[in-house]
A and B are shown apart, each in its own frame.
Chain A
């Protein structure tokens, strides 16, 4: 059976034929994109149906987020969101809560809405908006129900007395000097680990984790994705994660495929040499199923977390003089990169600051000197800070960029005033320059760091408006065409799937994202509010609303 999908317009992302009005599909594969009247030769003598449900809508290539974290999302999504930024979630839009009073009100409402004694986990608190948090404030909501308030950064949490009783945390055990302020119920750094180890029976209970992955599935679908990249499989525990992913993200009801990129240093953890890594990673491909694919991809880490101001910066560094951190010694990073480079892998390096970029490019230069490779797909992941000179090097070395552009929206204001100054804060995510230099450039959410909504990433990349409404680095704005490229074909290149998806042409999988309005001609400020009507995964329609 053939299906002929008709649309108001089809955006193909195939430069040879940018627009069309129909797509003909057989067994999940595109037979032809173009005009229906040209497709007769395929239809003669065949059974076919004309599907006009999208006749008034826009068919785009299926969206791709090339870097998010399903395992992390599975932990977070069962929690209640109370956040300063808006989040569009399938089970309801989270309206921004930007002051302390409203935050307390939301806690009260959530408390009132839950069955008695069920612990309540809240995520999204941030002192900048929600005032100082402490145990007394949570106790005021309830002294009986365990309530945990998690910081937006995930780096700290607060709990009430009922939670301490539930988790068996004895305040007498806690001494001054520990990274726990027991009077305020505040746990941070290694103290956070202490709390989490005791809360694990609740937050990592297998059924809760499974529920979290089911929620992730909905989030990914509602965002309009038909492919995603899990950019550090094995973040917590490889076997547990791989098993849960296979159970929850495979099957006919899953409307997307996942590129699994294994966490390189976890893979060889336990005294194995980096040179053993490529073989260990290759062995994982035996686990591949229809929707879950390991490939010749590896994830490695360079410098510290962007949101904690631990990115490694070149001069003049941070205003307050503190330094970022390395996640691996430069020599160790190089040993790992070398092992995978010589084995022909596509290497994804988490890198956030311009000193990190410099180091990564120095290493890549040495690899190219040792063993020149073309079309190697070496990818700089996150790409917070960079310099114009580095853009030139990235292009010359044949690398690509996958940027978390949301940082610009959420953090450029505070980084300008209390981090690195206006000039560099406004030039985070230097994406216009990347396109101008011909670098394959994509954007990601790093979900749960940013909303898993490609249209939202596109909105930030096109408008570069931060959360207080200022345009930051106008010269680096992308056109709508470039931004749509970033979330489709360029993203497909980044996760090594451009041969099967990312654009609409004969021979590719029939992966579509169907929008109510045209993302190339709409008001750029409207981009993030465009309705995702449905996705089509390998020819099968999955309505969103």
Chain B
């Protein structure tokens, strides 16, 4: 019996895309973990990642390892008129639902209660798979007693299906006295575990021991238009160790879709479609 059946999925419809939620307080290491996941060569094709923009306020859909997103439509903010934080999520999910995806990895805002985000993942076409919370071994103790965020960081830990303890090297004696399954960021099975984790399913079912090379992804955000020469210079300057560059860049002639695999560069003008919400390039490099 799979989770999908438990969700009452209609067999006539394609299976909902599972979402792995990565939560945890600001600075816990969510982005680091996601970058490590992205660099996994065993990462299944058709994985989309929603990264939270600088850790608070909103989720900014940066799609990595997936087809190009259809452009942004302006939408109403969900929530209080001038305080809304969660509407960007529905926009991002609706964009993703047009793509042939296998899974979504979603980084929450550092101040999100993961359980609330879990609720939000029950979205047409999607289903939440696991709620993983990263805990900062160095700062958790003081944060959990903090006047402003103590209640929040404790709630984050309480709500997790799987806890990942980061920065153990800074505090080797750190222990979280919780019954929730825990791994550290140095655990060799970390990435496979995170990807395979499903709420209520045993850890052993998803372990993989494949030894893999290491990769990382880096993003450059464009702030002003470039000339074609400047674009070439930028691509060349980044060549060290980079095996893949993908993104959208505005040059004098218009917005170009950039795709470089090894030495092969494709530049294609974007025609007749909404402009991506954010222009820039993602560099995937071996480390």
Chain A residues near B (Cβ < 8 Å):
69, 72, 75, 153-155, 172-180, 189-194, 196-197, 200, 203-204, 231-232, 235-237, 240, 265-266, 268-272, 301, 304-308, 310, 312, 323, 325-332, 350, 355, 358-359, 446, 448-449
Tell whether, in the assembled complex, residue B58 and residue A237 are in contact, meaning their CB atoms are under 8 Å apart. Answer: no
Between-chain CB contacts (< 8 Å), 29 pairs = A173-B125, A175-B124, A178-B122, A179-B122, A189-B119, A190-B86, A193-B91, A196-B90, A200-B75, A200-B76, A203-B76, A236-B75, A237-B72, A237-B74, A265-B58, A269-B60, A270-B221, A271-B53, A271-B219, A307-B80, A310-B80, A310-B83, A325-B111, A325-B113, A328-B111, A329-B56, A330-B148, A355-B148, A448-B81
Chain A residues with CB below 8 A from B280, complex form = 270-271
Compute how far the CA of A394 lies from the CA of B82 in the bound complex, rounded to whole angstroms: 23
In the assembled complex, B278 has its CB within 8 A of some CB on chain A: yes
Tell whether, in the assembled complex, residue B81 and residue A449 are in contact, meaning their CB atoms are under 8 Å apart. Answer: yes
Task: For residue A284, give the distance in angstroms from its CB to the closest CB of chain B.
Answer: 14
Q: Can you name the residue of chain B whose Cβ is closest to the Cβ of A355? A: B148
Chain A residues with CB below 8 A from B113, complex form = 325
Tell whether, in the assembled complex, residue A75 and residue B76 are in contact, meaning their CB atoms are under 8 Å apart. Answer: yes
Query: 9 tightest A-B contacts by CB?
Result: A193-B90, A305-B80, A190-B120, A329-B26, A328-B56, A237-B74, A326-B111, A177-B122, A265-B57
Compute how far the CA of A9 lies from the CA of B60 in the bound complex, rounded to whole angstroms: 55
Tell whether, in the assembled complex, residue B87 and residue A196 are in contact, meaning their CB atoms are under 8 Å apart. Answer: yes
Chain A residues with CB below 8 A from B90, complex form = 190, 192-194, 196-197
Comparing B3-11, B191-199, B240-248, the segment that makes contact with chain A is B3-11
Task: For residue A440, give the distance in angstroms from its CB to the closest CB of chain B.
Answer: 21
In the assembled complex, B44 has its CB within 8 A of some CB on chain A: no
Tell whether, in the assembled complex, residue B82 and residue A197 are in contact, meaning their CB atoms are under 8 Å apart. Answer: no
Compute how far the CA of A147 lies from the CA of B111 in the bound complex, rounded to whole angstroms: 36
Q: Decide if the interface of chain A is mainly helix, strand, loop or mixed.
A: loop
Chain B residues with CB below 8 A from A235, complex form = 77, 81-82, 84
Task: For residue A351, give the distance in angstroms from its CB to the closest CB of chain B.
Answer: 10
Q: Can you name the residue of chain A whose Cβ is closest to the Cβ of B277? A: A270
Q: Can you name the residue of chain A whose Cβ is closest to the Cβ of B10? A: A172
Compute how far the CA of A174 lies from the CA of B126 in the bound complex, rounded to whole angstroms: 10
Tell whether, in the assembled complex, residue A173 and residue B124 are in contact, meaning their CB atoms are under 8 Å apart. Answer: yes
Q: Decide if the interface of chain B is mainly helix, strand, loop or mixed.
A: loop
Interface size on B, residues (CB 8 A): 57
Chain B residues with CB below 8 A from A232, complex form = 82
In the assembled complex, B101 has its CB within 8 A of some CB on chain A: no
Question: Among B77, B79, B93, B223, which residue has its beta carbon within 8 angstroms of that of A272?
Answer: B223
Task: For residue A312, give the distance in angstroms from its CB to the closest CB of chain B.
Answer: 8
Task: For residue B74, give the distance in angstroms from its CB to the closest CB of chain A.
Answer: 4
Task: For residue A526, give the distance in angstroms from its CB to the closest CB of chain B.
Answer: 30
Tell me whether A69 and B119 are in contact in the complex, defined as CB-CB below 8 angstroms, given that A270-B280, A329-B25 are known contacts. no
Tell whether, in the assembled complex, residue A301 and residue B57 are in contact, meaning their CB atoms are under 8 Å apart. Answer: yes
Compute how far the CA of A153 lies from the CA of B79 in the bound complex, rounded to whole angstroms: 8
Chain A residues with CB below 8 A from B27, complex form = 331
Tell whether, in the assembled complex, residue B75 and residue A197 are in contact, meaning their CB atoms are under 8 Å apart. Answer: yes
Choose among B90, B110, B219, B221 the residue with the greatest number of A CB atoms under 10 Å from its CB: B90
Compute how far the CA of A328 lies from the CA of B151 in the bound complex, rounded to whole angstroms: 15
Compute how far the CA of A390 lies from the CA of B74 in the bound complex, rounded to whole angstroms: 39
Tell whether, in the assembled complex, residue A308 and residue B74 are in contact, meaning their CB atoms are under 8 Å apart. Answer: no
Tell me the chain B residues, 37-74 only, with Cβ under 8 Å from chain A. 53-58, 60, 72-74
Tell whether, in the assembled complex, residue B124 and residue A72 are in contact, meaning their CB atoms are under 8 Å apart. Answer: no
Tell whether, in the assembled complex, residue B55 and residue A189 are in contact, meaning their CB atoms are under 8 Å apart. Answer: no
Tell whether, in the assembled complex, residue B149 and residue A174 are in contact, meaning their CB atoms are under 8 Å apart. Answer: no
Tell whether, in the assembled complex, residue A189 and residue B82 are in contact, meaning their CB atoms are under 8 Å apart. Answer: no
Chain A residues with CB below 8 A from B26, complex form = 329, 331-332
Choose among B58, B119, B123, B280 the residue with the greatest number of A CB atoms under 10 Å from its CB: B123
Chain A residues with CB below 8 A from B123, complex form = 178, 190-191, 194
Task: For residue A357, give the distance in angstroms from its CB to the closest CB of chain B.
Answer: 12
Tell whether, in the assembled complex, residue B124 and residue A240 are in contact, meaning their CB atoms are under 8 Å apart. Answer: no
Question: Among A189, A204, A236, A269, which residue has its beta carbon within 8 angstroms of that of B120?
Answer: A189
Task: For residue B56, give the distance in angstroms from its CB to the closest CB of chain A.
Answer: 4
Task: For residue A39, give the distance in angstroms from its CB to the closest CB of chain B.
Answer: 44
Task: For residue B119, give the distance in angstroms from its CB to the closest CB of chain A.
Answer: 6
Tell me the chain B residues, 98-112 only, with Cβ under 8 Å from chain A. 110-111
Chain B residues with CB below 8 A from A72, complex form = 81-82
In the assembled complex, B89 has its CB within 8 A of some CB on chain A: yes
Chain B residues near A (Cβ < 8 Å):
7-10, 13, 16, 25-27, 53-58, 60, 72-87, 89-91, 93-94, 110-111, 113, 119-120, 122-125, 147-149, 151-152, 155, 219, 221, 223, 278, 280
Tell whether, in the assembled complex, residue A175 and residue B74 are in contact, meaning their CB atoms are under 8 Å apart. Answer: no
Tell whether, in the assembled complex, residue B124 and residue A174 are in contact, meaning their CB atoms are under 8 Å apart. Answer: yes
Compute how far the CA of A301 lies from the CA of B120 in the bound complex, rounded to whole angstroms: 22
Chain A residues with CB below 8 A from B87, complex form = 193, 196
Chain A residues with CB below 8 A from B79, complex form = 155, 305, 308
Chain B residues with CB below 8 A from A189, complex form = 78, 86, 119-120
Chain A residues with CB below 8 A from B151, complex form = 323
- Known A196-B90, A265-B58, A310-B83; 4 more pairs at CB < 8 Å: A72-B82, A266-B57, A327-B111, A332-B55
Chain B residues with CB below 8 A from A308, complex form = 79-80
Chain B residues with CB below 8 A from A154, complex form = 76, 80-81
Chain A residues with CB below 8 A from B155, complex form = 323
Chain B residues with CB below 8 A from A155, complex form = 78-80
Q: Can you name the residue of chain B whose Cβ is closest to the Cβ of A273? A: B54
Chain B residues with CB below 8 A from A310, complex form = 80, 83
Task: For residue A493, give the distance in angstroms from its CB to the closest CB of chain B.
Answer: 21
Choose among B75, B113, B151 the residue with the greatest number of A CB atoms under 10 Å from its CB: B75
Q: Can you name the residue of chain A whose Cβ is closest to the Cβ of B278? A: A270
Q: Can you name the residue of chain A whose Cβ is closest to the Cβ of B113? A: A325
Compute how far the CA of A56 lies from the CA of B78 in the bound complex, rounded to whole angstroms: 48
Tell whether, in the assembled complex, residue A177 and residue B72 are in contact, meaning their CB atoms are under 8 Å apart. Answer: no
Tell whether, in the assembled complex, residue B119 and residue A179 are in contact, meaning their CB atoms are under 8 Å apart. Answer: yes
Task: For residue A299, give the distance in angstroms from its CB to the closest CB of chain B.
Answer: 8
Compute how far the CA of A204 lies from the CA of B85 in the bound complex, rounded to whole angstroms: 19
Task: For residue A347, give the distance in angstroms from its CB to the closest CB of chain B.
Answer: 15
Compute how far the CA of A305 lies from the CA of B123 in the bound complex, rounded to whole angstroms: 23
Choose among B7, B79, B149, B278 the residue with the greatest number of A CB atoms under 10 Å from its CB: B79
Task: For residue A359, give the distance in angstroms from its CB to the closest CB of chain B.
Answer: 5
Compute how far the CA of A461 lies from the CA of B123 in the bound complex, rounded to whole angstroms: 43
Tell whether, in the assembled complex, residue A329 and residue B74 are in contact, meaning their CB atoms are under 8 Å apart. Answer: no
Tell whether, in the assembled complex, residue A329 and residue B111 are in contact, meaning their CB atoms are under 8 Å apart. Answer: yes
Compute how far the CA of A484 lies from the CA of B93 in the bound complex, rounded to whole angstroms: 48
Compute how far the CA of A358 lies from the CA of B78 in the bound complex, rounded to whole angstroms: 27
Compute how far the CA of A64 lies from the CA of B87 in the bound complex, rounded to whole angstroms: 31
Q: Can you name the residue of chain A whose Cβ is closest to the Cβ of B83? A: A305
Tell whether, in the assembled complex, residue A178 and residue B124 are in contact, meaning their CB atoms are under 8 Å apart. Answer: yes
Tell whether, in the assembled complex, residue B54 and residue A332 are in contact, meaning their CB atoms are under 8 Å apart. Answer: yes
Compute how far the CA of A191 lies from the CA of B152 in the bound complex, rounded to whole angstroms: 24
Task: For residue B238, give the distance in angstroms from its CB to the closest CB of chain A.
Answer: 16
Tell whether, in the assembled complex, residue B149 and residue A304 are in contact, meaning their CB atoms are under 8 Å apart. Answer: no
Q: Can you name the residue of chain A whose Cβ is closest to the Cβ of B9? A: A175
Compute how far the CA of A38 lies from the CA of B264 in the bound complex, rounded to whole angstroms: 83
